[in-house]
Structure 1
Amino acid sequence: MHRLAFLLSVAFFSGCALADTAWRGTSPQSLASGSGDISKAGGAAVTLSAESTGANQFVGAITTIDAATFQGREVVLTGTLLVNSGTGNAALWVRADGPEAPLAFASTGDQPVRLNEGSQPREARLYIPAAATSLKLGVTFGSAGRVDVEHLTLNAESAVQSNVSAYDMLDTAISIIRASALNANRVDWKSEQKSLLTADLKKLPAQEAYSRIQTVLTALADRHSSVQAPSAVSTYRAGAVATQAVEARSMQDIGYLLVPGLRGSDPKAGDIFSTQLCEHIAGLATTASRGWIIDLRDNTGGNMWPMIKGLRPLLGDADLGAFRDRNGVATAWRAQPSKGCDVDLSHSSVAVLVGPRTASSGEAVAVAFQGRPGTSFFGQPTAGLSTANQSFSLPDGGAIALTTAVFLDRTGVAYLQGIQPEKPVPREQDAVAAAAAWLRTQP
Structure 2
Amino acid sequence: MLRKTAVWMILLCAGAACTDAGPSEPDDSIGLQAHVYISSALDIMEFNSVRRYEIDWTAFREETFAEAAGIMTIPETYPVIVSALERIGDGHSFFQEPIASAPPAAGNAPSAALVDGVGYLDVPAFSGGGEDGDSLALLYHGLIEGVDTMAVQACRWVVDLRGNTGGNMWPMIAGVGPILGEDTVGFFVDPDSVFRSWTYYQGEARINDAPVNAAIPPYEPQSMAPHVAVLTDSLTASSGEAVAVAFRGRDGARSFGQPTWGLSTANAPFLLDDGAVIFLTVSTMVDRAGVVYGGELAPDEPVVGEKTGDPQTDEVLEAALTWLSTQSCA
Q: Partner of 1:182 in structure 2?
A: 50
Q: Partner of 1:318 in structure 2?
A: 183
* Residue 380 in structure 1 maps to residue 258 in structure 2: yes
- Deviation, structure 1 residue 204: 1.7
With over 3 angstroms needed to count, the CA separation of the structure-2 counterparts of 1:203 and 1:219, relative to structure 1, is closer
Post-superposition CA distance 1:381-427 (Å, at most 9, x none): 00110000011111111111000000011111112332111111113
TM-score by length of 2: 0.79
Q: How far apart in 1 are the matches of 2:90 and 2:237?
A: 13
4+ residue stretches of structure 1 with deviation over 4 A? 198-203
Match of 1:360 among 238, 251, 264: 238
Amino acid at match of 1:240: A
With over 3 angstroms needed to count, the CA separation of the structure-2 counterparts of 1:395 and 1:318, relative to structure 1, is same
On the 8 A contact 2:68/2:80 being kept in 1, the answer is no
Higher strand share: 1
Q: How far apart in 1 are the matches of 2:293 and 2:224?
A: 23
Q: How far apart in 2 are the matches of 1:200 and 1:324?
A: 33
Q: Which has the larger radius of gyration?
A: 1
On the 8 A contact 2:142/2:219 being kept in 1, the answer is no
Q: Partner of 2:198 in structure 1?
A: 333
On the 8 A contact 1:167/1:198 being kept in 2, the answer is no
TM-align CA RMSD: 2.1
Amino acid at match of 1:395: D
- Deviation, structure 1 residue 432: 0.9
With over 3 angstroms needed to count, the CA separation of the structure-2 counterparts of 1:296 and 1:200, relative to structure 1, is closer
Match of 2:268 among 390, 397, 408: 390
With over 3 angstroms needed to count, the CA separation of the structure-2 counterparts of 1:367 and 1:199, relative to structure 1, is closer
With over 3 angstroms needed to count, the CA separation of the structure-2 counterparts of 1:370 and 1:164, relative to structure 1, is farther
- Deviation, structure 1 residue 201: 6.4
With over 3 angstroms needed to count, the CA separation of the structure-2 counterparts of 1:332 and 1:430, relative to structure 1, is same
Alignment of 1:31-70 (within 5 A): none
Q: How far apart in 2 are the matches of 1:415 and 1:321?
A: 11
Amino acid at match of 1:224: H
* Residue 402 in structure 1 maps to residue 280 in structure 2: yes
On the 8 A contact 1:294/1:351 being kept in 2, the answer is yes
Amino acid at match of 1:350: V
Q: Partner of 1:254 in structure 2?
A: 118
With over 3 angstroms needed to count, the CA separation of the structure-2 counterparts of 1:224 and 1:203, relative to structure 1, is closer
Q: Partner of 1:442 in structure 2?
A: 327
Match of 1:304 among 169, 193, 197: 169
Q: Partner of 1:423 in structure 2?
A: 301
Post-superposition CA distance 1:64-122 (Å, at most 9, x none): xxxxxxxxxxxxxxxxxxxxxxxxxxxxxxxxxxxxxxxxxxxxxxxxxxxxxxxxxxx
TM-score by length of 1: 0.59
Q: Partner of 1:192 in structure 2?
A: 60
Match of 2:220 among 343, 367, 371: 343
Amino acid at match of 2:302: P
Q: How far apart in 1 are the matches of 2:77 and 2:145?
A: 49
Q: Partner of 1:129 in structure 2?
A: none
* Residue 171 in structure 1 maps to residue 39 in structure 2: yes
Q: Partner of 1:240 in structure 2?
A: 105
In structure 1, the gaps of 5 or more residues are 1-162
SS of alignment partner, residue 268 of structure 1: helix
SS of alignment partner, residue 158 of structure 2: strand
Q: Partner of 1:208 in structure 2?
A: 76
Structure 1 residues 175-184 or 249-258, which shifts more?
Answer: 249-258
Amino acid at match of 1:343: E
With over 3 angstroms needed to count, the CA separation of the structure-2 counterparts of 1:228 and 1:259, relative to structure 1, is same
Q: Partner of 1:9 in structure 2?
A: none
SS of alignment partner, residue 184 of structure 2: coil
Q: How far apart in 2 are the matches of 1:396 and 1:197?
A: 20
On the 8 A contact 2:181/2:224 being kept in 1, the answer is yes
Q: How far apart in 2 are the matches of 1:164 and 1:311?
A: 50
Q: Partner of 1:283 in structure 2?
A: 146
With over 3 angstroms needed to count, the CA separation of the structure-2 counterparts of 1:290 and 1:320, relative to structure 1, is closer
Q: Which has the higher contact order (CA 8 A, sep 6+)?
A: 2
On the 8 A contact 2:187/2:287 being kept in 1, the answer is yes
Q: How far apart in 2 are the matches of 1:185 and 1:211?
A: 24
Q: Partner of 1:224 in structure 2?
A: 92
With over 3 angstroms needed to count, the CA separation of the structure-2 counterparts of 1:223 and 1:199, relative to structure 1, is closer
Identity %: 38
Alignment of 1:1-16 (within 5 A): none
Q: How far apart in 1 are the matches of 2:141 and 2:297?
A: 25
Match of 1:411 among 289, 312, 321: 289
Post-superposition CA distance 1:239-297 (Å, at most 9, x none): 3222x2212111141111100011233x1111111111111111111316351000001
SS of alignment partner, residue 319 of structure 1: strand
With over 3 angstroms needed to count, the CA separation of the structure-2 counterparts of 1:332 and 1:208, relative to structure 1, is same
SS of alignment partner, residue 230 of structure 1: coil
Alignment of 1:17-166 (within 5 A): 165-166=33-34
SS of alignment partner, residue 231 of structure 1: coil
Structure 1 residues 203-212 or 391-400, which shifts more?
Answer: 203-212
On the 8 A contact 2:96/2:277 being kept in 1, the answer is yes
Q: Partner of 1:270 in structure 2?
A: 133
